[in-house]
Amino acid sequence: MHQSFLHRPVLLNQSLDHLAVQPGGNYLDGTLGGGGHGRKILEASSPDGKLIGLDRDPEALAAARENLSIFGDRVLFFERNFSELADIMADISFDIHGVLLDLGVSSPQIDRPERGFSFQGDGPLDMRMGNSSLTAQEIINEYQPAELKRIFWEYGQEKFSGRIARAIVQAREKDRITTTGHLAEIIKSTRPEMPTKTLSRIFQAIRIEVNDELGSLKKGLQAAVDILASGGRLVVLTYHSLEDGMVKGLFRQAADPCTCPRHLPYCGCGKKPIIKIITRKPVLPDDDEICQNPRARSAHLRTAEKL
């Protein structure tokens, strides 16, 4: 097991159940991480099922290559974002019977200060999951006040977005803000008793902007549905309401694409359902899993099946 990228998979058994993994089936893990979910998929699809594993983080992919090496050529690795699924699948000749997208930030990313994801350690303002050019430092030091306020509100749903944006702009006029610790102190200075939730929301908003997470999700979900074989399953794990709402909305649209007025007795637009929704309500982790892995507490699992 690769020691530098240890991550406990969330909702592991439920993910396998909802993917309905079968021996000989071919699956795609669009957020491979260290390979925790991937290993279980490969074991359940033995002896000859294949796994396509994607991750934009080169460190995660290196760990997955090591952790899944025992499966040999049953695994195909790609250092790519799952939003690029359509391009990747253009060169794949076999059917895909299930796609898994686990949208959470992994523990190795959060826990290493040099990655710059967390306010709980002091590190460079980075937050890149892959090799994109945009960093958190550029956003904090170069975005206009209105843009900072917008991303804090839209991606963090933080009611004090304007106040925090103004404080950042005032601080950066004195010195460039380069570390997570410095940014956290600026945010804390805006309120006498700053709740941890506010820090979490602001850091989440910056991370979403750096990695274009919502844009990638919209593109990736559509591509995932397109590449699935008939009867294949799409399983998505989300960790905040923006992601979950987007998945829920796109599932609904694909399951009921008709654009005709509801009062019409028949459908005239001709748009047919592409999927059926398996989970009318999201699957949540139980108390035992949350106790063992507190970071699982916000996880929501939703599943759809290709028609």
Alpha carbons 167 and 220: distance in angstroms, whole number: 36
Question: Strands 26-29 and 50-54: what pairing?
Answer: parallel
Residue spans of the domains in the chain: they are: 12-108+213-306, 133-211
pLDDT value for 3: 46
Average the pLDDT over 12-24 and give the result. Answer: 97
Q: Residue range 60-75: average pLDDT?
A: 96
Is a pLDDT exceeding 70 seen at residue 181?
yes
By mean pLDDT, which of 81-85, 105-109, 169-173, 213-217 is the weakest? 105-109
Q: Is the pLDDT of residue 6 over 50?
A: yes
Give the relative orientation of helices 241-255 and 213-227 as an angle to the nearest 10 degrees.
30
Share of the chain above pLDDT 90, in %: 87
- Predicted pLDDT at 1: 44
Q: pLDDT value at position 4?
A: 53
pLDDT over threshold 90, residue 33? yes
276-280 mean pLDDT: 97
Which of 30-44, 113-127, 137-151 is predicted with the least confidence, judged by mean pLDDT? 113-127
Q: What is the tens place of the pLDDT at every residue in 88-111? A: 999 999 999 999 999 978 878 888
Q: Which CATH superfamily is domain 12-108+213-306 in?
A: Vaccinia Virus protein VP39 (3.40.50.150)
Mean pLDDT for the stretch of residues 218-240: 97
The whole-number pLDDT of residue 265 equals: 87
Say what the pLDDT of residue 2 is.
Answer: 45
Mean pLDDT of 68-78: 98
Architecture per CATH, domain 133-211, reads as: Orthogonal Bundle (1.10)
Check residue 7 and give its pLDDT: 66
CA–CA gap between residue 89 and residue 165 (Å, rounded):
41
- The mean pLDDT value of the chain amounts to 94
For 231-259, write each residue's pLDDT tens digit. Answer: 999 999 999 999 999 999 999 999 999 99
| pLDDT for 266 | 87
Extract long-range pairs of 277-280: CB within 8 Å, 24+ residues apart.
277/251, 277/252, 277/302, 277/303, 277/304, 278/18, 278/233, 278/303, 278/304, 278/305, 279/18, 279/303
